[in-house]
Amino acid sequence: MSSIAISPDLGSFFEEVVIRALRDERVEATDAACHYLVGVLADYAHPERGAEAAFQRPLTFLLQDALAATGAERFRRLRALGDGVLYALGFFEPSVTRHGTGRGYALSVGTAAYHHASAMLRVGHGAAATDVLGELASKYERFVGVVSAVADAVLANERRSCPAGIVSLYTRWLETGSPRLAEELAGLGLVPLRTAGGTN
C-alpha cells in the first residue's frame, strides 16, 4: 500500500477535498455530515488507524457484537463499524471485494450500523435532533462514492509530491476506472484506454 502525503492541517486539507467531492458526485449533504466525513478521514489518516480494523472479523459478527453491546459501548461499536466500512470501501474497495466481501453486503452492514447508532441518538431527543448518522445511513452508498472521490484526489495529490505516485495512480485507475484519475494520467501524457480485450 502506498503512503499518503498528509497536510499538516488534516482538517483543512480534507474539508477542501470533501467539499469538492460532494460537488463532483452531486451529493447533497448538511454541513454536519460534511464535517463528520472530514473527521472520519482525518482519523483514518493516522497510521495507527487502518481500514483493515473494520474487517478483522466477518462483518456479520462485528455487527452482531455491536448490537449485543449496551449503552455507550453499543453506540461506539456501531459508529466505528459504519465509519470503518465507509472508509474501507471508499479507499480500498477492490482489495475488500477481492477478499470475498461483496460490495452490496458491506454497504448493507455499514448502513445498518449507522442506522442503529442513529436510532440510539434519537431516543430521548426526538426527531428534531440533528441526525448526522441517519443522514449518512440514508445515503450510505452515495457517501462511499464521495469517500472514493476523496481517495482519488489524495492519490492525485500524492502523484505531484512523489515520483512513485504515478504507479499508484495508474494502479488505482485500473481497479476503479475513475474518470478523475484518467484525467490526471492524461495530464502526465498517459492516456489509459479500456478495450474489449483489456486495458492499454
User: Rounded to whole angstroms, how far apart are CA atoms 74 and 127?
Assistant: 21
pLDDT computed for residue 164 by the predictor: 65
Q: Under a CB-based contact definition with an 8 Å cutoff, are residues 38 and 18 in contact?
A: yes
pTM of the model: 0.76
Q: List 198's β-bridge partners, or say none.
A: 195
The tens-digit pLDDT sequence of the chain (200 residues) is 344 444 457 778 889 999 999 999 999 999 999 999 999 999 888 756 555 555 678 899 999 999 999 999 999 999 999 999 999 999 888 777 777 788 999 999 999 999 999 999 876 555 544 689 999 999 999 999 999 999 888 877 766 556 666 666 677 677 777 777 777 766 666 666 665 555 54
Which one-letter DSSP state was computed for residue 47?
T
Closest to 23 (Cα-Cα) out of 140, 142, 172, 134: 142
With cell 469517500, the residue in question is 147
Question: Residue 198: which H helix or E strand, with range?
Answer: strand 198-199
pLDDT computed for residue 53 by the predictor: 56
Cα-based distances in Å from 164 to 44, 135, 149 = 22, 38, 20
How many other CB atoms are found less than 10 A from the CB of residue 10?
16
Name the grid cell of 157.
Answer: 495529490
Could you give phi then psi for residue 142, rounded to 5 degrees? Answer: -65, -40
Name the grid cell of 106.
Answer: 458491506
